[in-house]
Structure 1
Amino acid sequence: MSSFKNVFYFQAGLGVLANMFLLFFYVFIILGHRPKPTDLISCQLTFVHIMVVLIGGDNLLTDLFESLNIGNDFKCKTTFYLFRVMRGLSICITCLLSVFQAVTISPNASFLAKFKQKLKKYMIHVFLCIWFFNLSFSTNRIFYAAGFTNVSETNQMQVTKSCSLLSMNYIIRGLIFTISTSRDVFLVGVMLFTSTYMVIFLYRHQRQCKHLHSISHLKESPEKRATQTILLLVVFFVVMYWVDFIISFTSEMLWMYDPVFLTLQKFLMFVYPTITPLVQISFDNRIIIMLKNIQLKCHWSCS
């Protein structure tokens, strides 16, 4: 298990460093330049992913609580609640990013074009609604998460080394599961719909360009690169989400967390927050240009 723990810490470290770099970049762009609307969304998504990596499993935030001698019960309630909030924010903001990009690239004559200005105008209101909804929606974890005491195996389900979920009424458990699943399925459905729309739009746009220019003269626009990046992130998110969903559904319905499944789930938990900043850094020309300028300055200063 020590090798797995080393893998988790390496994955968590890479995820935190990549997201911190991206967060500083977006803050710099937002404060000092004219940011794109997607920069505001991506900045929040990056912050959420930093929190997911810090909170996930028995990791960095848990170690911090232990060093501060904070009670195990409070620690478990806090980590479970914050993780559920950040997980909900991750899917909501990823969905918002997909919707906004679909609206951005849509032609002026299309139905989605009507929402371009409205989305930009009410972006802050959308952010506040998303945060308020997820902060409120995840409060059930405060009541049903507790420190693992090993007193009654039937009364609690051990989820991590020191935390467990308390047993709840079957109807309440089914209701919470149904509501959370309905929310996630709806958001994933919206992402798949907007992604399909963007793929069709890019395909038609590519065909039109081929009629107007030769292939050798075709140049990728920033909008196309941004759309391809978001499509890649959405597809990757949907795959990771459904794998995580199957594991969580099986564990909670059977009221049993298998150690192997838990290890796999913890690994998958960090994959999307770790891969996302790397994809965004690779596809964002502004970051590539900035890194090249830094490299040139270092080269001239050292020579």
Structure 2
Amino acid sequence: MDLKDLVIGIVFLLQSTVGILGNFSFLSYYLMHYYNEQTLKTTDLILTHLFTANSLIILSKGLFHTMKSFGMKEFTNNFGCEFLLYIQRLGRSMSISSTCFLSVFQAITISSGNSSWLTLKVKAPKHIGLFISLCWIIYMAINMIFPVYMKTKVNNKNLTHNSVMKYCTTSGHDDLTGSLYTALFVLPEIILSVIIVWSSGSMVVFLYRHKQRVQHIRSTGVSYRTFPESKATHCILTLVSTFIGFYALSSILQGCIALIYNPGWWLVNITAVISMCFPTLGPFVINHHSTVPRLCFS
């Protein structure tokens, strides 16, 4: 075994262990709460879907890369490889979408009662579950159609060269396939990332204005080390920085992999490591971010 394979295998193993423990712990907590109370808050419902999506990414991508890095390359056939790739894409798409839902919903929740979002504030909790379910259906369909299209195109053109796409080896790679992958997967991720930045920015601006309005009524004789608004702002900025730092960079790198004829070992594995960072660390960051509404109005 090469030293670089050993190092990258240890990295994937650590990521997978921490990610599985983190996501499964929080997911179990919300499922137990639902079992006891027979209901979930809207934010908790979104987080349940998010932790489920993160778990799919870690189980399909993290464990696969770990075993492959340690030399177990023949433990699955082509169908198993395609199935794991399907699960990984589905989990990634839903993880980003759920994070977007979380950010937008909390921006609506803490918005002023006189704002134009008042109607959304009333209707959003009633329909958020339906929207997330539709996202699951849409992404399951898209992620199922794309591999079928790619295989059909390969068979029709009788392409014989191989190219590495993420961790599966697929026959046939051309500009149209790469462009289609970019349009179906990379571009929507970038758009959702922009929406997350916009909604988070709106929350930061609202919290700053709220702090300025109420600061004069707070007792000057009491020492406030950290105002609730400041703490909530830090939570928001931490989530956005973590998300953009990992997922946006991962989207760019995966777009490069889709467009490059024969991506190298370093590009494929570094992209995989970066794409695993948010699903691994996300539960711990988002657990603090979910307290933003309570912090704001405490």
TM-score range, shorter chain: 0.7 to 0.9
Indicate if the aligned counterparts of 1:18 and 1:277 stay in contact, CA closer than 8 A.
yes
Letter in 1 for 2:25: F
Counterpart position of 1:164: 169
Instruction: For residue 256 of structure 1, give the secondary structure of its aligned residue in structure 2.
Output: coil
Distance 1:186 1:284 in 2: 22
Indicate if the aligned counterparts of 2:90 and 2:139 stay in contact, CA closer than 8 A.
yes
Counterpart position of 2:258: 252
Distance 2:214 2:253 in 1: 45
Counterpart position of 2:15: 11
Counterpart position of 2:245: 239
Per-residue CA deviation, residues 162-197 of structure 1 (Å, 9 max, x unaligned), is x21332553343234224333222211211110110
2:111 is equivalent to residue 109 of structure 1: no
Structure 1 segments (4+ residues) deviating >4 Å: 60-63, 217-221, 223-228, 281-285
Distance 2:230 2:131 in 1: 25
Counterpart position of 1:44: 49
Q: Aligned pair in 2 of structure 1 residues 130, 73: CA closer, same or farther (>3 Å)?
A: same
Letter in 1 for 2:55: I
Letter in 2 for 1:275: L
Distance 1:178 1:284 in 2: 31
Structure 2: runs of 5 or more not aligned: 153-157, 292-298
Counterpart position of 1:291: none
Q: Aligned pair in 2 of structure 1 residues 17, 71: CA closer, same or farther (>3 Å)?
A: closer
Name which of 83, 105, 109 aligns with 2:88: 83
Indicate if the aligned counterparts of 2:165 and 2:258 stay in contact, CA closer than 8 A.
no
Across the aligned residues of Structure 1 and Structure 2, the Cα RMSD in angstroms comes to 3.1
Task: Quote the sequence identity (%).
Answer: 25
Counterpart position of 2:213: 208
Task: Work out the number of aligned pairs and report it.
Answer: 274
Distance 2:255 2:268 in 1: 12
Letter in 2 for 1:216: S
Name which of 27, 31, 34 aligns with 2:35: 31
2:134 is equivalent to residue 129 of structure 1: yes
Distance 1:155 1:99 in 2: 44
Structure 1: runs of 5 or more not aligned: 147-151, 286-303
Letter in 2 for 1:131: W
Per-residue CA deviation, residues 116-139 of structure 1 (Å, 9 max, x unaligned), is 121111122112111111111112
Name which of 174, 198, 207 aligns with 2:179: 174
Counterpart position of 1:297: none
C-alpha displacement of 1:217: 4.9
C-alpha displacement of 1:160: 5.9
C-alpha displacement of 1:231: 4.3
